[in-house]
């Protein structure tokens, strides 16, 4: 059997595959905006397994699959046998005999890896505790769309060294840009968990203002990610000074963008005047989830296509 390509973390695809995906995304987006029908995945089906909440991921995969001529099936832990202890390996065997591609949003990365190891079809990470590769795919596509190539640029990550931060670090290594990270003490990047090979593409700063200085993109995320709710009160205290505000945007490069994967908490990790201000591209970022994931689904099922 040919090797199946999965997208469990950002570095699962090569630099040139990512470059193909960005080019294909632009092609697909243009076609869709022109109302041109493109149904390469007619009669193909996507299973989406959610063990955590979602608005954007569910909507973008469901709409995207339909736009490509296929369909999607929504499953969650509550209604399936997964919530009653059916082994992930058994679920993977069964689900992957009935659909052509699977997207999973779950807790530990290990769960999705066990699923993929027993799957006959490509598996896509729709967010785990460790990584959120589809979001960073959309974010980088958005950066390219707004500002051109990201290689050589500086991204400031302000806040928690979470799934988004880890994925940015992997992307920096692969696509050759730099990430300036500032986390509160005790929440620093763990390179092994982030899955990076070296610290050549990121630098840690104690002061978030130093991380933001001259950055081409300033980005942040919630202080408490899904699955860590019991730490909420402690995190509110620890992260109080890690809020992206106008002063921070002022020290960044003049034409710096602001991104947030959403959902956001105004007044916590970002001030309203920044997320709702002129440098923010959060709605473009959200929309691009749809377009990049269409390119990803098509690529995982059919390989690179002529444009």
- Residues tagged active-site: 105, 132, 135, 221, 261, 289
d(CA 73, CA 102): 9
Q: How far apart are CA 221 and CA 13, in angstroms?
A: 24
* Minimum gap (Å) between residue 34 Cβ and ligand CP: 27
Q: Site residues for ligand CP, window 53-72 (CB under 6 A)?
A: 54-57
Out of ligand NVA, ligand CP, none, which partner does residue 222 contact, by CB within 5 to 8 A per kind? ligand NVA
**Per-residue binder mask for ligand CP (CB under 6 A), 151-190, x = binder:** ----------------------------------------
With beta carbons less than 8 A apart as the criterion, state whether 291 and 251 touch: no
Instruction: Choose among ligand NVA, ligand CP, none what residue 55 binds, the Cβ cut-off being 5 to 8 Å by kind.
Output: ligand CP
Which burial class, exposed, middle or buried, applies to 107 when counting CB atoms under 10 A from its CB (0-12, 13-18, 19+)?
middle
Tell me the three state secondary structure of residue 217: strand
Cα torsion angle, 60, 66, 72, 78, sign? positive
Alpha-carbon distance 228 to 219, whole Å? Answer: 20
- The answer to the question of residue 162 lying near ligand NVA (CB under 6 A) is yes
Give, as ranges, the residues between 173 and 232 that touch ligand NVA (CB under 6 A). 221-222, 225-226
Question: Which is closer to ligand CP, CB of 135 or CB of 201?
Answer: 135
- In angstroms, the CA 239 to CA 243 distance is 8
Nearer to ligand NVA, 71 or 77 (CB): 77
> CB atoms < 10 A from the CB of 85, how many?
6
Binding site for ligand NVA (CB under 6 A): 127, 132, 162-164, 221-222, 225-226, 261
Binding site for ligand CP (CB under 6 A): 54-57, 127, 135, 261-262
């Amino acid at each position: 059997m040919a090797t199946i390509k999965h997208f469990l973390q950002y570095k699962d695809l090569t630099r040139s595959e990512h470059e193909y995906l960005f080019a294909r995304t632009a092609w697909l987006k243009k076609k869709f905006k022109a109302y041109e029908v493109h149904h390469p995945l007619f009669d193909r089906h996507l299973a989406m397994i959610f063990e955590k909440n979602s608005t954007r991921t569910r909507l973008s995969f469901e709409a995207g699959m339909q736009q490509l001529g296929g369909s999607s099936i929504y499953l969650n832990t509550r209604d399936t046998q997964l919530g009653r202890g059916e082994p992930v390996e058994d679920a993977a065997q069964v689900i992957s005999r009935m659909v052509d591609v699977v997207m999973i949003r779950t807790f530990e990365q290990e769960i999705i890896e066990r699923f993929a190891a027993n799957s006959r079809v490509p598996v896509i990470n729709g967010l785990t505790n460790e990584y959120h590769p589809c979001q960073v795919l959309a974010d980088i596509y958005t950066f390219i769309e707004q500002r051109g190539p990201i290689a050589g640029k500086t991204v400031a990550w302000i806040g928690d060294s979470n799934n988004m931060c880890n994925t940015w670090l992997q992307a920096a290594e692969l696509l050759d840009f730099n990430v300036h990270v500032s986390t509160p003490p005790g929440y620093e990047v763990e390179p092994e968990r982030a899955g990076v090979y070296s610290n050549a593409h990121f630098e840690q700063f104690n002061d978030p203002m130093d991380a933001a200085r001259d950055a081409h993109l300033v980005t942040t995320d919630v202080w408490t990610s899904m699955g860590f709710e019991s730490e909420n009160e402690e995190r509110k205290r620890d992260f109080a000074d890690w809020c992206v505000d106008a002063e921070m945007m002022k020290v960044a490069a003049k034409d710096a963008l602001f991104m947030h994967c959403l959902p956001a908490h105004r007044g916590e990790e970002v001030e309203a005047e920044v997320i709702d201000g002129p440098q923010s591209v959060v709605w473009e970022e959200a929309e691009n989830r749809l377009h990049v994931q269409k390119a990803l689904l098509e690529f995982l099922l059919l390989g690179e296509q002529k444009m």
